[in-house]
Amino acid sequence: MSTETEQTKAPAFGVDESGGRVSYPTYTVPDHILDRFPKASRSIWSGAAEKDWNSWIWQQQQRVRNMEMLEKVVKVTDDERKAYDGSVEMFNMSITPYYAALMDPEDPNCPIRLQAVPKLGELHISPEDMEDPLAEERDMPVPGLTHRYPDRVLFYTTHNCAMYCRFCTRKRKVSDPGSAAQKQQLDGALEYIRTHTEIRDVVVSGGDPLSNSDDRLDYILGSIRAMPHIEMFRLGTRNLVTLPQRITDDFIYMLRKHHPVYVNTHFNHPKECTREAYDACRRLADAGIAISNQMVLLKGVNDDPKIVKELNHKLLMMRVRPYYIYQCDLSQGISHFRTPIETGLNIIENLRGWTSGLAVPHLVIDAPGGGGKIPILPQYLLGKDGKNVTLRNYKKEQFTYVEP
């Protein structure tokens, strides 16, 4: 077997002092690493030209949007058909060919399929479900911008996503074309950031901000970077998972002009860690961009410590830091995905001490009603008697620490 591939040899592009492109030396990745990241099959798109399959524009044009197309990709169940009919008006279906090809055509409980294809659970609205569970609209001083925390804001730059994830917490936006961010709205949000000098961190989100063109992103990021009080910004995107073809050389070239840049992405299952996803993350990491992962805890998808450990080990090989495990939000129609709090605590118990600290993310609940992210931890502090503090480790062995 060859020790290198076209993907692993592809150079990352940077910018020299005169503004021109420079490329960095190529390198190889050992086969024993690459072999853990299989290339995605192409399913019914096996006859697609290479240039088309690798085009993020083509991938979006060819998305699975209706039942007729879905039936060509998987063996659709009666429940899936009923769920589609009942949910399509509220929250449409949209799956890129790349992500659709990861689905098991025979298994309706495939963890990829559960995230992409409507289920009957979506038609059930629980009493506690909310349209805007995180109260993002309440803390919106200008259209398209949530300012909740003292020094950072959430900036919605588009309502579009490459794929409509069935557990989406912002269905109210991505399912409503009227929520699209026009240039006037973008400029209004940028003006707010410009005049509020307490802001040092901007989370660029949507929808998915990578649904914007490179030129539009360059305008948005360049405008933010020109503000002296902004220290950093983060791009929140799931394109690394659902549309890795989006990470082109042109995109990397544009992004590197705006350092420091951070990317938060959203892998939920090891099956999403393909060679294509690996290569997309490599391109970003080679360009000096730090990548973190925010996994949502989903019943039937990743509510098993073994699955989360495998995912986090793969992410670290992809140079992606496991950052958060989110308890599933109280969004409308996703109660079938929610798990008890104990499920997440059990996952943390089976990670901390049993694997690298780098592979142990924070378990958080984004509190309903806009309370912000609240960390949930197993109890390792057992008690205190005077100066003696009783602790327990990951094996539940007890130890005493004497305070000064």
CA distance 368 to 133: 5
What 3-state class would DSSP assign to 236?
A: strand
Report the C-alpha gap between 116 and 21 in whole angstroms: 38
Q: Are strands 261-265 and 290-296 parallel, antiparallel or unpaired?
A: parallel
- Joined tokens for residue 133: 């569970």
Instruction: Tell me how far apart the alpha carbons of residues 111 and 40 are, in angstroms, rounded to a whole number.
Output: 15
Which two three-digit tokens encode residue 330? 């109280």
Tokens for 89, please give them: 């008006």
Alpha helix segments (H runs only) across 302-402: 305-317, 341-349
Total Cβ atoms within 10 A of residue 46: 9
Q: Which of 102, 65, 39 is nearest to 242 (CA)?
A: 102
| Residue corresponding to tokens 């429940």 | 79
Residue 125 neighbours by CB under 8 Å, 6+ apart = 332, 333
The token pair that represents 200 in the structure block: 């040092």
Number of alpha carbons in the 13 Å side-chain half-sphere of residue 69: 15
Q: How many Cβ atoms are within 10 Å of 289's Cβ, its own excluded?
A: 21
Residue in this structure with the two tokens 């220290």, named with its chain if needed = 231
Query: How wide is the angle at C-alpha 227 spanned by C-alphas 266 and 210, nearest 5°?
Result: 25
Annotated catalytic sites, by residue? Answer: 148-149, 152, 161, 165, 168, 170, 329, 366, 373
